[in-house]
Amino acid sequence: MDDKTKELIRQCRKIAGRHRVDDGKDFRLKDTDPGDTGHWSEGDKALGEEALAQGKIALATMQERLYAQDRWSVLLIFQAMDAAGKDGAIKHVMSGINPQGCQVTAFGVPSAREQDHTWLWRCMTELPERGRIGIFNRSYYEETLVARVHPKILAAQKLAPSLVTDEIWSERFDDIRGFEKHLARNGTLVLKFFLHISKGEQRRRFLSRLDEPEKNWKFRMGDVDEREHWKDYQEAYEKTIRNTATKDAPWFVIPADHKWYTRIVVAAAIVEALDSLDLHLPEVDDAQKAVLEEARKRLTKAKTES
Ligand code: ADP
């Protein structure tokens, strides 16, 4: 690895480390500032964007190795309040990588078929294969967020009343920790991103969806309804992160009031995590070298034919 790459990874570690939660027990959402921009100020935005561009180049190289090595898979989970910039962060950060090695799945309100299975089922079927990066835009975490904020969602899940006790949320946290441990033990790197936007910035973004015609399509009245449950959602996020942030599957609580900074942190966290996998292109052994040599001979001969 050259010095420039080493320095980039050092920077990524520093940036990501600031926002990583891998032991949730003391986590408090109010200790994190949605307007934080790390060691950059709004005036340094161009420098930040340059850092993002570098991070994306590193990411593309690492993804190629991940794919070629075919040993690990990577699951990136994005959760956020509406308008926090999940879609934009996914689009920007992943824009340089080979689409063949990456798949994005968005999880909306479960279908009737999905409701006939346990809540992890629909996510299991979308897990990334070895060598791939899977991105979940929302995920099984909705089961301790929207389902907790709206009792009617839990009530519609066809669970027998004897299964819906006061323990249901801690049982779900338990299931999630177990599931993520299983993934980690079997070669899936799991990173979870909570894009943390302030209520004021969400209001500004909703208003811009009304004011700017090219953003009108993004507006949904349901988002304004959900905003009325802001406090409940913040509490649900805090409890979720407290109970599911582990070394196996850390949360990154990423300030989301400044989109440029959000994207830098997301890229830094992914670069740092991929670096920890020690990815490399598969080594060619003597038998394969002989096959390559044989292929060279045949192709060289073919050239003289035309
Ligand atoms: P997004 O808001 O992510 O851009 P949509 O506008 O399609 O995407 O909204 C998806 C909706 O599906 C959200 O309101 C979300 O809370 C809801 N949803 C996702 N998973 C579940 C679930 N397991 N149970 C109930 N609602 C869910």
Contacts of 114-122 with C-beta under 8 Å, sequence gap 24+, read: 115/156, 115/157, 115/158, 116/158, 119/143, 119/157, 120/175, 120/179
129 in a domain, yes or no? yes
State the pTM of this model.
0.95
Radius of gyration of the chain (CA): 22
48 in a domain, yes or no? yes
145 in a domain, yes or no? yes
Pocket test for ligand 1, best of 138, 149, 194, 221 (most atoms within 8 A of CB): 138
84 in a domain, yes or no? yes
- Tell me which residue range forms the domain holding 225: 3-301
Please tell me the total count of domains within the chain: 1
Q: What is the CATH number of the domain that holds 288?
A: 3.40.50.300
138 in contact with ligand 1, CB cutoff 6 A = yes
142 in contact with ligand 1, CB cutoff 6 A = yes
Take residue 156 and report the two structure tokens written for it: 């519609």
What's the 7 CA to ligand 1 centre distance in angstroms?
A: 39
pLDDT in tens, the chain (306 residues): 888 889 999 999 999 999 999 999 999 999 999 999 998 888 888 888 888 899 999 999 999 999 999 999 999 999 999 999 999 999 998 998 999 999 999 999 999 999 999 999 999 999 999 999 999 999 999 999 999 999 999 999 999 999 999 999 999 999 999 999 999 999 999 999 999 999 999 999 999 999 999 999 999 999 999 999 999 999 999 999 999 999 999 999 999 999 999 999 999 999 999 999 989 998 999 999 999 999 999 999 877 676
What's the 226 CA to ligand 1 centre distance in angstroms?
A: 11
Dihedral angle computed from the Cα positions of residues 223, 227, 232 and 235, in that order, rounded to the nearest 10 degrees: 90
Number of the ligand 1 atom closest to the C-alpha atom of 137? 3
Answer for the pair 300, 233: CB distance below 8 angstroms, yes or no: no
Residue 243: per-residue pLDDT: 98
% helix / strand / coil in the chain, to the nearest 5?
60, 10, 30
What's the 152 CA to ligand 1 centre distance in angstroms?
A: 14
| Beta-carbon count within 10 A of 160 CB | 6
Place of tokens 């299991």: 124
273 in a domain, yes or no? yes
269 in a domain, yes or no? yes
Residue 305: per-residue pLDDT: 72
95 in a domain, yes or no? yes
Pocket test for ligand 1, best of 115, 116, 146 (most atoms within 8 A of CB): 146
Answer for the pair 54, 8: CB distance below 8 angstroms, yes or no: yes
What's the 144 CA to ligand 1 centre distance in angstroms?
A: 13
Nearest to 269 by CA among 255, 286, 284, 258: 255
DSSP-derived 3-state class of residue 80: strand
Contacts of 12-15 with C-beta under 8 Å, sequence gap 24+, read: 12/55, 12/58, 12/267, 12/268, 12/269, 12/271, 12/272, 12/275, 13/268, 13/272, 15/264, 15/265, 15/268, 15/269
Nearest CA to ligand 1 atom 2: 82
Nearest CA to ligand 1 atom 25: 109
Residue 304: per-residue pLDDT: 66
Residue 107: C-alpha distances to residues 96, 126, 135, 256 (Å): 24, 10, 11, 21
Residue 234: C-alpha distances to residues 139, 145, 173, 226, 228 (Å): 17, 9, 17, 12, 12
Residue 22: C-alpha distances to residues 73, 110, 112, 210, 265 (Å): 20, 29, 35, 38, 16
* Reduced 3-state DSSP string for 67-78: HHHCCCEEEEEE
Residue 153: per-residue pLDDT: 97
Nearest CA to ligand 1 atom 9: 108
Nearest to 133 by CA among 188, 194, 192, 193: 188
153 in contact with ligand 1, CB cutoff 6 A = yes
Place of tokens 């969400």: 202
143 in contact with ligand 1, CB cutoff 6 A = yes
Determine how β-strand 73-80 pairs with β-strand 102-106: unpaired
306 in a domain, yes or no? no
DSSP-derived 3-state class of residue 23: coil
